[in-house]
Amino acid sequence: MAYIITGGTGFIGKHLIDRLLTRGEPIHVLVREASEATLAALCEGRWAHARGLIVPLRGDITLPGCGVSEAALGGLRGQVRALFHLAAIYDMNVDAEAARRANVDGTAHALSLAEQVGTTFQHVSSIAITGGVVRGVFTEAMFDEAQQLDHPYYATKFESERLVRSQTAVPYRIYRPGVVVGSARTGEADKIDGPYYAFPFIELARRNLPRWLPLLGSDAGVLNIVPVDYVASALDAIAHAQGNDGQTFHLVGPNAPSLFRAMGALSKAAGGPRYALSWPSSVQRLGASRSRRKPSPLALAVRAGFLEKTGIPESVLSASEWRTRFDSKNAERVLAPLGIRCPELPAYADKLWSYWKAELAPRHKRARVEQRGVLSRGVCDKRVLITGASSGIGEAVARAVAHSGGIPLLVARNEDKLRAVCAHIEAEGGRASFFVCDLNDPLQVDALIAKLRAEPPIEVLVNNAGRSIRRSLAHAYDRIHDYERTMQLNFFGALRLTLGVLPDMRARRNGHIINISSAGVLLDTPRFSAYIASKAAFDAFSRVAAGEALSDNVHFTTIYMPLVRTPMIAPTKGYESAPALTPDQAAAWVIEAIFKRPKRMSNHVAQAFHALEELHPSLTTRLRNFGYRYTPGSKKARAAAAPDELAPIP
């Protein structure tokens, strides 16, 4: 006898084959032509000890009868013990048509294949068929409870299970695994998905917070996670047990942890702070409108900003809010006598963490590097004029542009520093040139513009040079020159240069102006009135200019840069221990901006606070006042009546 398995090269499929191989019977793995190399590599590596037992079965679940040839069918009829149907699209970003072809049509075709060879159908469904909206306990006997399934993955998994239930030609058993994570023994996992999106945040807390610090978490969701090796063992055992046709089995843990408990277990495994306090679900619902319990505009803005910056799919965040618990008595009835039990998360959290740290995180980092490579191709051969390029963000942007194949044109006051940066770029095989110019001096800016007009055209201008002053109003009443100095560089200097390059960009119908603004413009940070006012002024100019220049294919991008560890923030001692980007990380934002040409870029904290400002300005004013009163000024602020915390011009 033999087995047929669809989705055998997938996450659960590989672990199921590991189990089936111990039975010593041939396993026919349905595989598309494009995936034959993947299966061959697994046979040479993972399953090298079982040569001859893995048999490729050419086919495709999107074709009738899974596209298996008549010749192959003839050798399988009456010889197959069970067909395990695992193949499906699990991507939470899948579109409806692709999900239907793979999950619904694919199930129908797999059923047809099982009927043709005369075997039982072991259908791997999912707890996703509940849609997460069912409150309380969902039993193995339940199916159609009038749940609303508005996500393509949930809807198509529901429909595929309905297909299996409604037909009578093929004996079947249905399995509904929970959210499948890595092996409880080794931590092995294929990709970052589901709970793994929380791991970088746990790592961030582990690195930056003391272990004794009690953290606050949410108890608003139930995390129905299950390790992949348990799922594979359960599939193997139940499929071979007698008398279970037509039944459904929940492959979940008996005590699904709350989101709070799960985060606590993972943080403990990582060596991070402990989750000691949780807020009740009633607090979570405060962000919803009281009348309809729909998300408030503030909640939607915060959520959208968070998802945009983290890359977490909306459906994954929604799944973390599920309240459904799944009864698994039927599965336990079969598995308990065999000694197969689902371990609880604290028993294997360390294995998940270790594997993520050693394998998944570096793999994800490599993928991001490859993505940056794609972004870099959009910079290749572009002439990019960068102000404030002798140090800090400007220098990092110049190096990043050159590394991406572009030609950075550096502008700053200090010739020696500019020459050194260019020499460094050229030593690494890049191209660069520089112009000495003090953007505070209108005559020098006009001379720079004249030189640029004699050069090949500028395609991108990065207005980065800036001056920052941290001083409260109480110490600025008689210092109008503070505002004049910041406006001279941050507004008038940038404006003069921008107006100088814009005519040529519009005439050529190709140009991009990138302004390095500050998250403080969205936050209206106390003690920075001079700096923020000057940056906000140029932001306003850019918004107006963007509306006029768009028809000439000239784009404006404002980057509301968070704190960056540069000489500009050095005078503010309170920033020494504050979280901050490195200049290279800030430069990556600029490279992305050159490639994608977004209207604006900022982090989710600044976006959320700005959204709150629109909804409740009196509240944000109180929050700023609280921050002003309870965060100390600099040592100079305490020692002098007129402190001067003027950062040097880059």
pLDDT score of 633: 59
pLDDT tens digits, 397-423: 999 999 888 999 999 999 999 999 999
**Which residues are bridge partners to 610 per DSSP?**
none
More confident of the two residues 300 and 281: 300
The verdict on residue 447 lying in a domain is yes
The verdict on residue 430 lying in a domain is yes
pLDDT level of residue 607 (50, 70, 90 thresholds): confident
pLDDT score of 375: 53
Which of 429, 425, 430, 395 is closest to 412 using CA atoms?
395
Out of 177, 212, 240, a domain closes at 177
pLDDT level of residue 73 (50, 70, 90 thresholds): very high
pLDDT level of residue 167 (50, 70, 90 thresholds): very high
The Cα angle at residue 336 between residues 335 and 337, in degrees rounded to 5? 95
Q: Which domain holds residue 543?
A: 378-639
Out of 130, 160, 177, a domain closes at 177
| pLDDT value at 148 more than 70 | yes
| pLDDT value at 637 more than 60 | no
pLDDT score of 572: 58
pLDDT score of 619: 80
pLDDT tens digits, 175-221: 999 999 999 999 999 887 888 888 888 888 887 788 888 877 666 67
User: Which amino acid belongs to residue 489?
Assistant: L
* Structural contact between residues 396 and 374, judged by C-beta atoms closer than 8 angstroms: no
The verdict on residue 598 lying in a domain is yes
* Structural contact between residues 240 and 199, judged by C-beta atoms closer than 8 angstroms: no
pLDDT level of residue 624 (50, 70, 90 thresholds): confident
pLDDT score of 362: 80
Share of the chain above pLDDT 90, in %: 52
pLDDT tens digits, 235-280: 999 999 999 999 999 999 888 888 888 888 999 999 988 887 665 5
More confident of the two residues 281 and 98: 98
* 442-453 and 494-508 helices, crossing angle to 10°: 20
pLDDT score of 295: 58
pLDDT tens digits, 488-517: 988 999 999 999 999 999 999 999 999 999
User: Which amino acid belongs to residue 433?
Assistant: S
Q: What's the rounded Cα separation, in Å, for the pair 608 and 485?
A: 31
**Which residues are bridge partners to 434 per DSSP?**
410
Q: What's the rounded Cα separation, in Å, for the pair 172 and 167?
A: 9
Residue 577 is part of a domain; what is its CATH number?
Answer: 3.40.50.720
pLDDT score of 286: 42
pLDDT score of 292: 40
DSSP string, 114-153: HHHHT-EEEEE--GGGGTT---SEE-TT---S-----SHH
pLDDT score of 288: 40
pLDDT score of 649: 37
pLDDT tens digits, 85-142: 999 987 666 778 888 999 999 999 999 999 999 999 999 999 999 887 667 889 999 9
When pLDDT is averaged across residues 221-230 and rounded to a whole number, the result is 90
Q: Is 172 noted as a catalytic residue in this protein?
A: no
* Structural contact between residues 3 and 76, judged by C-beta atoms closer than 8 angstroms: no
When pLDDT is averaged across residues 351-377 and rounded to a whole number, the result is 72
DSSP string, 412-464: ES-HHHHHHHHHHHHHTT---EEEE--TT-HHHHHHHHHHHHTSSPP-EEEE-
* Structural contact between residues 21 and 200, judged by C-beta atoms closer than 8 angstroms: no
| pLDDT value at 355 more than 90 | yes
pLDDT level of residue 290 (50, 70, 90 thresholds): very low
DSSP string, 556-585: EEEEEE--B-SGGGTT-GGGTTS--B-HHH
The verdict on residue 234 lying in a domain is no
pLDDT score of 606: 73
The verdict on residue 186 lying in a domain is no
Out of 126, 150, 177, a domain closes at 177
DSSP string, 261-299: HHHHHHHHHHT---EEEEE-HHHHGGGB-TTT-PBPHHH
The Cα angle at residue 292 between residues 291 and 297, in degrees rounded to 5? 95
pLDDT score of 307: 60
CA distances from 271 to 225, 275, 288, 579 (A): 21, 12, 35, 20
Give me the chain's average pLDDT, please.
Answer: 84
pLDDT tens digits, 16-27: 999 999 999 999
Q: Does the global pTM surpass 0.75?
A: no
pLDDT tens digits, 302-344: 666 666 555 666 666 666 667 788 999 999 999 999 999 999 9
The Cα angle at residue 532 between residues 620 and 632, in degrees rounded to 5? 65
Q: What's the rounded Cα separation, in Å, for the pair 261 and 223?
A: 9
Which of 526, 522, 529 is closest to 487 using CA atoms?
529
The verdict on residue 218 lying in a domain is no
| pLDDT value at 643 more than 50 | no
The verdict on residue 163 lying in a domain is yes
pLDDT level of residue 521 (50, 70, 90 thresholds): confident
The verdict on residue 244 lying in a domain is no
Which positions ≥6 away from 505 have C-beta within 8 Å? 457, 458, 459, 511, 549, 552, 554
pLDDT tens digits, 530-580: 888 899 999 999 999 999 999 999 999 999 988 787 766 655 565 565 667
> Active-site residue among 175, 531, 575, 630?
531
pLDDT score of 435: 96
How many domains, the chain?
2
Q: What's the rounded Cα separation, in Å, for the pair 440 and 611?
A: 34
Residue 81 has phi, psi (to 5 degrees) of: -75, -40
DSSP state of 222: B
pLDDT level of residue 284 (50, 70, 90 thresholds): very low
